[in-house]
């Protein structure tokens, strides 16, 4: 089987990045979102990202145009009918993801591969919403997708070796390094980073240090590209809260219990860069 046409469900932060790298690698891409406005917003975000890539010498103007011409937005699941691989990137909500996989299972060809970009949910719980759990796997990309080199390929107890091999080849064709991980909460990267990030929120919440000092300490002291609070703003506080909630539910480790401040900020709609306000203010 050869992957030629890729579907992307969910056209937010991650869906846009995934659609962009797939189009740049020569795949035809069809991407859907829940609202008409979001499709337009997604296409505009990809355009802006590709313009930046040209400005910074990471792509030529021809490559930008070629990639843009390969991406189509849609409002209808029926348009996934011709896809060889569909990657889901909707919010971190198990019931929503299961519903989408059941819908995809009905419209996609029987041998099409269905992948989830979940950060921590159980991939087998999503896979059993379909009649093809052996063709379901996790493809966990990192933000920002065009720059981050890693993809965690999540193999469930049902994923076939052929699906793992196709997923591996696909990830590499995007220029990514693929590691195969087990279907356990948070896989490797999120399993390790969540206690650290939530610990930083708790330090700030307790008044132990200012947000600037916490972030600067990690940037200057550990050479991270950004501090943990800036990272929360970058990833989206709603996404961080959903991940913490679901990992705490599974693992019951105290350090994964979401801090109250995080819950309050999400309730207030201070979700980070995407809403202009999180731990820092981006409205200027
Ligand atoms: N943000 C990160 O840094 C990051 C990194 C790796 C993985 N992830 C994972 O990627 C997934 C998406 O995260 P995100 O940050 O892109 O979220 P996001 O909120 O930026 O985007 C989600 C998109 O899904 C759309 N959507 C909602 N319901 C839908 C539906 N029923 N059908 C189609 N589209 C629908 C929304 O309109 C939105 O465009 C989550 O599972 C998250 O855990 C996020």
Number of domains in the chain: 2
| Same-domain status, 103 and 119 | yes
Quote the percentage of the chain above a pLDDT of 90: 95
Peptide bond into 144 cis (omega under 30): yes
Q: Tell me, in angstroms, the distance from the centre of ligand 1 to residue 252's CA.
A: 25
How does residue 267 score in pLDDT terms, banded at 50, 70 and 90? very high
Among 152, 182, 212, which residue terminates a domain? 182
**pLDDT at 284 (0 to 100):** 82
Do the domain assignments include residue 58? yes
Asked if residue 239 and residue 111 are part of one domain, the reply reads no
Give the Cα separation of 183 and 224 in Å (integer).
27
Does the structure show a pLDDT above 80 at 66?
yes
Judge whether residue 35 has pLDDT over 70.
no
Give the distance, in angstroms, between the CA of residue 18 and the centroid of all CA atoms in the same chain.
8
pLDDT of residue 39: 87
| Residue 283 belongs to a domain | no
Cα 222 to averaged position of ligand 1 atoms, centre (Å): 29
Task: For residues 48 and 113, state if they share a domain.
Answer: yes
The mean per-residue pLDDT over the stretch 41-64 comes to 94
The arithmetic mean of pLDDT across residues 238-265, rounded, is 97
Predicted confidence band of residue 38 (pLDDT cuts 50, 70, 90): confident
Q: Is the pLDDT of residue 42 over 70?
A: yes
When pLDDT is cut at 50, 70 and 90, the band that residue 36 belongs to is low
Residue 132 half-sphere exposure toward CB, CA atoms < 13 A: 20
Tell me, in angstroms, the distance from the centre of ligand 1 to residue 40's CA: 16
Residues contacting ligand 1 via CB (< 6 Å):
9-15, 32-34, 38, 89-92, 96, 117-119, 141-143, 235-236, 239
| Averaged pLDDT for residues 77-85 | 95
Q: Is the peptide bond before 205 cis (omega within 30 degrees of 0)?
A: no
Q: Inform me whether the pLDDT recorded for 69 exceeds 90.
A: yes
Q: What angle do CA 234, 21, 141 make, to 5 degrees?
A: 50
CA 146 distance to own-chain centroid: 12
195 — pLDDT class (breaks 50, 70, 90): very high
Q: Which of 156, 182, 208 is the last residue of a domain?
A: 182
Per the prediction, the chain carries an average pLDDT of 96
- Find the domain containing 47 and state its range: 5-182
Within this chain, do residues 163 and 52 fall inside the same structural domain, yes or no? yes
- Note whether 108 and 212 are same-domain residues: no
pLDDT digits (tens, 9 = 90+) for 155-166: 999 999 999 999
Same domain, 240 and 107: no
Same domain, residue pair 146 and 42: yes
The CA-atom distances, in angstroms, between 108 and each of 78, 113, 130, 138 are 8, 9, 11, 17
Residue with tokens 């846009």: 16
Q: Is residue 207 in a domain? A: yes
Is 145's pLDDT higher than 70?
A: yes
Q: Which residue's CA is the nearest one to ligand 1's atom 29? A: 34
| Same domain, yes or no: 175 and 198 | no
For range 91-112, the mean pLDDT: 96
Average pLDDT for 107-136? 97
SS3 111: coil
Pick the atom of ligand 1 nearest to 92's CA: 41
- According to DSSP, residue 256 is labeled G
Nearest CA to ligand 1 atom 43: 119
pTM, 2 dp = 0.94
**Domain edge (last residue) among 138, 166, 182:** 182
CATH of the domain at 54: 3.40.50.720
- The Å distance, Cα 212 to ligand 1 centre, comes to 28
Confidence of residue 16 (pLDDT cuts 50, 70, 90): very high
Same-domain pairing of 178 and 194 = no
Cα gap 88→118, rounded to integer Å: 8
Whether residue 195 lies inside any domain: the answer is: yes
Task: Check whether residue 195 and residue 172 sit in a common domain.
Answer: no
């Amino acid at each position: 089987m050869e992957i030629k046409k890729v579907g992307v469900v969910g056209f937010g932060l991650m869906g846009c990045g995934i659609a962009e790298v797939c189009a740049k690698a020569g795949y035809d891409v069809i991407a859907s979102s829940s609202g008409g406005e979001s499709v337009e917003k997604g296409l505009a975000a990809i355009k802006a990202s590709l313009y930046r890539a040209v400005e910074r010498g990471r792509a030529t103007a021809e490559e930008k145009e070629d990639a843009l011409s390969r991406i189509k937005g849609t409002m209808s699941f029926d348009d996934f009918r011709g896809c060889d691989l569909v990657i889901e990137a909707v919010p971190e909500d198990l019931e929503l993801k299961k519903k989408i996989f059941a819908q995809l299972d009905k419209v996609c060809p029987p041998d099409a591969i269905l992948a989830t970009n979940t950060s921590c949910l159980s991939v087998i719980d999503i896979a059993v919403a379909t009649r093809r759990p052996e063709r379901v796997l996790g493809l966990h990309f990192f933000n920002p997708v065009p720059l981050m080199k890693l993809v965690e390929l999540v193999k469930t107890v049902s994923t076939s070796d052929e699906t793992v091999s196709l997923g591996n080849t696909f990830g590499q064709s995007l220029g990514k390094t693929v590691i195969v991980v087990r279907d356990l909460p948070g896989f490797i990267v999120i399993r390790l980073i969540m206690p650290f990030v939530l610990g930083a929120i708790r330090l700030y919440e307790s008044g132990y240090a200012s947000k600037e000092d916490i972030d600067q300490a990690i940037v200057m002291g550990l050479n991270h590209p950004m501090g943990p609070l800036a990272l929360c703003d970058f990833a989206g506080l709603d996404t961080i809260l959903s991940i913490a909630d679901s990992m705490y539910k599974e693992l019951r480790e105290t350090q994964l219990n979401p801090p109250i401040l995080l819950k309050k900020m999400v309730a207030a709609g201070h979700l980070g860069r995407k809403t202009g306000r999180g731990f820092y203010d981006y409205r200027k």
